[in-house]
Amino acid sequence: MSTLPKGEKIYHGIAVSAGVCRGKVLVLHRARHIIARREIAPDSVPSEVKRFEHTLVRTRTQIKEVQRRVSENMSDAEGDIFEAHLLMLEDRVVIDEVIRMIREQKVNADFAYHTVADRYIAAMEQVEDDYLRERAADMKDLTGRVLDNLLEVKDAFDLKHLSEPCILVAHDLSPSTTAQLNKQFVLGFATDIGGKTSHTAIMARSLDIPAVVGLHNASDELETGDYALVDGYNGTVVINPTDKTLFEYGQLEKNKASLDEKLREILWLPSVTLDGKAIHLSANIEDQFDVESVLQHGAEGVGLFRTEFLFINRESLPGEEDQYQVYRQVAAALKPQQVIIRTLDLGGDKFASTLQLAKEVNPFLGWRAIRFCLAQPEMFRAQLRAILRASAEGNIKMMYPMISGLDEWNRATTLLEQCKAELRTEKIPFDENLAVGAMIEIPSAALIAEALARRVKFFSIGSNDLIQYTLAADRTNEKVSHLYEPTHPAILRLIKMTVDAAHNHGLWTGVCGEIGGDPVLVPLLIGLGVDELSCAPAGIPEVKYMIRRIKFDEAKALAEFALQCESPWDIYTRCLELARASAPSLFENKTE
Ligand code: PEP
Ligand code: MG
């Protein structure tokens, strides 16, 4: 039952994926870690003990079911992992201790189980024995599952089996959970924390569902079953919307329908400015299933294939053959359009649980992307070989993420050359002229763009990271989102430096970070000389619409103004003025 008053309540956050949806809320992972001690009346003790025992039975059934599924899809050995969970679940010593605590201290079952399990976990973690330490991780996993059941929290496993439409509300959603969402049932989502360019937000745009993040404590206040409206244009979530609000949103839906009509008209037209400057407009994808969307939205191929999503949410890592099949399939489906495959960018906020990597204090500054790959040459070589083999299709390009200096470029090139030599010996075909580029997403790379330009075939600016690393503002942290300014003069200078270095060497530069899909910033990027833009497939029509309504000369004048202006806000305001004046229809649903 909802504890909210019946009236309308509006939560304000950060809009990360456009659109409006309404429906029933489903709250996820709620307060799993905040387990309050509650006194219970003496006559409630037997029912509390029963509740605990029922939970154990329910948990056992769930684990058995997961075990069955895993054994079906993987080997029995993988299914056996769950045997350890079952043994711990049925450990009589733990069960008796929990029941004793409920009876003697007259406390709630979740508090008792949490207290007892935590004691065992702490003891196991202290032992100097790898085996026992691993069992501590199993015990944590199991404890989470039991507490989910005691607290009636839905988990990621259930998410795959939703049977009715809902709006997900959570403290946070990891990119791996977001990757599992079924668009048929998840109408949109809202989270307490997060930033505009976190990978969770990027996934929302890729799924093309409305999303709002940075809502502070919404997941604590909202209840499963509440009725909500998510406004992904303006970053608000309205609970119990009044008839007046619903009427206003009806208008918004009408605006959207008329804009969609305009966008459909230009879907298959070229991406060219009013005065004839062509901009290559491509799409960002996460897997082979996104190809359909690339084709439907009128993109010119793929500017960024984020291959790490092939490694996430799997029980074992994909090998060379698995990857080859995916890359080849994508390239074949989009031929003759180009497909730029970005090598693995795990780390930061994207983790493959199978790898069981130790937690880092600063994951975004740590073992991520090319750094991680160069330290795992076997895994990296499997990917390089898979990409090379798929390049025989003739339309593949490749790029490395997070290049910070020449050494990384040189080491990756050496590995690539070794892989090519092997394939030649094995008489396996590949594209001898495969173009390899560097992503520019660390300030040091932009600052040495001249040196890099003598080695690479193209640049692709990863502005999501370039902004976070230049301004020292975590892209996933809503508390510093006000510092995360794409129009900061420092960012514009780094982009300009990169573009100039590329052009001096006859190369092209793309932008595949989220600013490349923001119609407000598109004229500025074009004015700075960017040759290619790549964004979520669903964002392509709006970007094309904007490109077709501006003049390259206006864009250049805007960039000239921006490069001599000191204020990020003044630059943004000027961008907004030009964008609104050129394509007013794109802004009708935005209130600010
Ligand atoms: C970027 O950093 O802008 C980028 C495109 O890469 P990712 O978002 O995957 O880090
Ligand atoms: Mg990046």
CATH number of the domain encompassing residue 499:
3.20.20.60
Does the C-beta of 475 come closer than 6 Å to ligand 1? no
pLDDT in tens, 432-448: 999 999 999 999 999 99
Q: Which atom of ligand 1 is nearest to the CA of 345?
A: 9
Verify that 469 and 579 share a domain, yes or no. yes
pLDDT in tens, 34-63: 678 889 999 999 999 999 999 999 889 878
Verify that 262 and 242 share a domain, yes or no. no
Does the C-beta of 462 come closer than 6 Å to ligand 1? yes
Verify that 218 and 103 share a domain, yes or no. no
Measured distance CA(289)–CA(293) in Å, rounded: 8
Catalytic residue at 199?
A: yes
Give the structural domain span for 129: 42-151
Mutate to test the pocket of ligand 1, among 178, 196, 197, 509 (most ligand atoms within 8 A of CB): 197
Q: Which atom of ligand 1 is nearest to the CA of 308?
A: 9
Q: How far is ligand 2, taken at its centre, from the CA of residue 401, in Å?
A: 7
Q: Which pLDDT belongs to residue 31?
A: 47
For residue 198, the 8-state DSSP code is S
> Out of 199, 280, 297, 488, which one is annotated catalytic?
199
Verify that 262 and 203 share a domain, yes or no. no
Verify that 239 and 107 share a domain, yes or no. no
Does the C-beta of 345 come closer than 6 Å to ligand 1? yes
Measured distance CA(32)–CA(151) in Å, rounded: 8
- From 105, 122, 151, the end of a domain falls on 151
Q: Which pLDDT belongs to residue 352?
A: 78
Verify that 97 and 205 share a domain, yes or no. no
Verify that 493 and 585 share a domain, yes or no. yes
Q: How far is ligand 1, taken at its centre, from the CA of residue 254, in Å?
A: 34
Residue 162 lies in a domain: yes
> What pTM value is reported for the model?
0.77
pLDDT in tens, 70-94: 566 445 655 666 787 888 899 999 9
Q: How far is ligand 2, taken at its centre, from the CA of residue 118, in Å?
A: 37
Q: Which pLDDT belongs to residue 3?
A: 43
Mutate to test the pocket of ligand 1, among 464, 509, 514 (most ligand atoms within 8 A of CB): 464
Verify that 467 and 538 share a domain, yes or no. yes
Verify that 496 and 563 share a domain, yes or no. yes
How confident is the model over 557-575, as a mean pLDDT?
98
Does the C-beta of 229 come closer than 6 Å to ligand 1? no
Q: Which pLDDT belongs to residue 1?
A: 37
Verify that 581 and 457 share a domain, yes or no. yes
Q: Which long-range contacts (CB under 8 A, 24 or more apart) does 113-120 make?
A: 113/52, 113/143, 113/146, 113/147, 113/150, 114/35, 114/143, 114/147, 117/142, 117/143, 117/146, 118/143, 120/94
Does the C-beta of 463 come closer than 6 Å to ligand 1? yes
Catalytic residue at 373?
A: no
Measured distance CA(48)–CA(53) in Å, rounded: 9
Does the C-beta of 306 come closer than 6 Å to ligand 1? yes
- Please indicate whether residue 192 or residue 591 has the higher confidence score (pLDDT): 192
Residue 546 lies in a domain: yes
pLDDT in tens, 491-505: 999 999 999 999 999
Question: At residue 4, does pLDDT exceed 70?
Answer: no
Residue 102 lies in a domain: yes
Least confidently predicted of 119-123, 159-163, 382-386, 400-404: 159-163
Measured distance CA(462)–CA(457) in Å, rounded: 16
Does the C-beta of 175 come closer than 6 Å to ligand 1? no
Residue 11 lies in a domain: yes
Q: How far is ligand 1, taken at its centre, from the CA of residue 554, in Å?
A: 28
* Structural domain total, the chain: 3
Find the CATH number of the domain harbouring 104: 1.10.274.10
Does the C-beta of 286 come closer than 6 Å to ligand 1? no
Find the CATH number of the domain harbouring 186: 3.50.30.10
Any idea of the CA torsion for 145, 150, 154, 160, to the nearest 10 degrees?
50
Question: At residue 6, does pLDDT exceed 70?
Answer: no
Verify that 447 and 546 share a domain, yes or no. yes
Residue nearest to atom 8 of ligand 1 (CA): 464
List alpha helices for 222-347, DSSP H: 243-266, 291-296, 320-334
- From 98, 124, 151, the end of a domain falls on 151
